[in-house]
Amino acid sequence: MRKQPDIAVDLDPVIYVVDDDPALRDALLDLFAATNRRAAAFASGKAFLERADTDAAGCILVDFRMPGLNGLDLQDQLATMGSHLPVIFLTAFADVPTSVRAMKAGAADFITKPFDSGLLLEAIDNAIELNRKQRNEAVEKDRIDGLMASLTPRETEVLQAVVRGLMNKQIAFELGISEMTVKLHRMSLMRKMQVRSLAELVRTVEHARR
């Protein structure tokens, strides 16, 4: 069996192979090396969780049935940990109930052995693209959360009222302050939220609520 390379922690996508079949692991590593895709392989779900960076960019190709931690168990653990790594299941024993359960839990794909290499690579590329979008969404949400945290309590109240569609006069009446004070808070929160229009402000707040 080939020696595994050290796993670097960066934003280059990594295909994590988790399978108890050493021949299949080596074959997949050869396939990914031949197609210029970065990969690392593990003989068990436990070994993967101990050594891999579950916050990395990429995806996981995991055998559905393995001794100890099986594919579904690993998927559940990753969800609990908050990992964004999409999971692609490989199995020689596909059945409808387990496939449905895996997909409902967020599996990116479910591929039956023996598999077509072209279809597998396509599924992996799709999963990596999904992961890229999810990571970008998470970064944007963190940015917006940081902006919202910079608002004063009163600015937050005005923001919530503005997003509800209230006019300045209505906000002033609801909060028991002057309309001019509402305008000043509104100008301040728009600056802090880094938006230039009401529509942009609403879109930004809605993004944070997803």
| Domain CATH number, residue 110 | 3.40.50.2300
Domain that holds residue 194: 150-209
Radius of gyration of the CA atoms of the chain, in A: 24
> What pLDDT is recorded for position 29?
96
Tell me how far CA of residue 191 lies from CA of 1, 16, 40, 113, 186, in angstroms: 59, 43, 45, 55, 9
The domain total for the chain is: 2
CA distance 120 to 30: 14
Cis? peptide before 114, omega within 30° of 0: yes
Same domain, 26 and 83: yes
pLDDT under 70 in the chain at which residues? 1-11, 93-106
> What pLDDT is recorded for position 64?
82
